[in-house]
Chains A and B, each alone.
Chain A
């Protein structure tokens, strides 16, 4: 029996898919749809850059999580030692951590620039109001990711900065509410191992899942509405 040419195998696979779903039509529709020329302006790239940076964060975050130990039970804490290990011992660990750190900083700048573009072009107006709300929610999630990530190295700077942040957040002058927020974030009377555990859970599981979900919604809205008008 003759061995089929890879091209014939590929064609057969595409035909098989086409019989079950308008596959090639969908690919054509996705790739060759036309985009207004004004969308080539550099400021329309800011949203794409935010997406690229979030992908960097997810990838480098997974690599860092391979070595990070979310444990602050002794002094020096295993969390601190694991970050030190990543920074100084792991092959290219310094680079992965550095990319994660700098991409996080750049991400906040790019989100603000993207927002400025959206303001400037009035892209939040009808019918895009819901997408604006999704975008603003994503901004707050990115800030929450920055905040929770700051504690993870568990060094002096991170510890005291987080202590102040929790104090501000729990600054509501209604006793029970303030105590509840403090307990929820801190997991105890002071910033300690339970706090690190909570911040780690938020930083690694909850917030990334939320941001991926919201990014999907954001892109679905963009696909439905198309690009907004230029300056």
Chain B
């Protein structure tokens, strides 16, 4: 197997297309990438006043190290586009839109930013965490505090961390059981995607239950009834 062939392993190898007759730039240690041809680029060469801006933009990927063999290297031209400016341009716009959005929230939704009285350990207060921990606060009411906090919490963290390996080990068996012809199903990940979205829905429901307040109580297997926060 030639060196060039060996580069066509990994993601995208299946969609390998014949090599194109356009400029290839050789960089350290690998066969290089097909780049946007010179005549298609914006006319901003090393003598252009905006070239330092391009250097600034390029610094980010340069600092991230050499690019490996990417999926796009094996795809036909009409299925790819250059990083700059085609792929890059939405991001400055997204950044500005997001800055305006959070600025408007800061302006119009001041209520959440108002301070209560300075902390006093002698004060009596019903603690209620911010929304991103509120589901956990509600979850703890559903059973033994240790099991539901440290126990399940630790298990969830470990499962999240090792998920790719679990998927690799168990995925094929699940696929066989479901009668699928191949694993992983190319480009689709219905089961794990749905499990994650399902987990988010459970979190959202716990969140709503907590937000409904102490007056909203539901029957539960343990500590029944369980009320909101």
Interface size class of B (residues with CB under 8 A): 35 or more
Chain B interface, >50% SS class: helix
Chain B residue, CB-CB nearest to A31:
B84
CA A119 to CA B197, docked complex, whole Å: 9
Q: In angstroms, how far is the closest chain B Cβ from the Cβ of A140?
A: 7
Q: Mark B127-150, 1 if CB is under 8 A from A, else 0.
A: 111111100110010000110011
Bound Cα distance A159, B140 (Å): 20
User: Which residues of B have CB within 8 Å of A190?
Assistant: 121
Q: Give chain B residues whose Cβ lies under 8 Å from the Cβ of A183.
A: none
Known: A32-B82, A154-B118, A171-B146. A126 touches B127 (CB 8 A): no
CB distance from A138 to the nearest CB of B (A): 12
Question: Using a Cβ–Cβ cut-off of 8 Å, how many residues does chain A contribute to the interface with B?
Answer: 102
B153 nearest CB across to chain A (Å): 9
Whether the pair B80, A156 counts as a contact (CB closer than 8 A) is no
Chain A residues with Cβ below 8 Å from B179 are none
Q: A45-B94, A52-B94 are in contact. List 18 more A-B contacts (CB 8 A).
A: A11-B46, A40-B87, A48-B94, A52-B98, A56-B102, A77-B119, A84-B115, A87-B113, A98-B103, A116-B196, A119-B196, A122-B184, A122-B188, A129-B165, A146-B130, A157-B125, A171-B146, A223-B67
Residues of B within 8 A of A (CB): 10-12, 25, 27, 33-36, 41, 46-47, 49, 51-52, 54-55, 57-62, 64-73, 75, 77, 79-84, 86-87, 90-91, 94-95, 98-99, 101-103, 105-107, 109-110, 112-113, 115-121, 123, 125-133, 136-137, 140, 145-146, 149-150, 157, 160-161, 163-165, 167-168, 184, 186-189, 192-193, 195-197, 200
A/B interface sample: 18 pairs, CB < 8 A: A29-B35, A30-B58, A32-B84, A33-B35, A33-B72, A36-B80, A75-B120, A101-B112, A119-B189, A124-B167, A126-B164, A155-B118, A164-B129, A168-B136, A168-B149, A171-B150, A192-B121, A227-B70
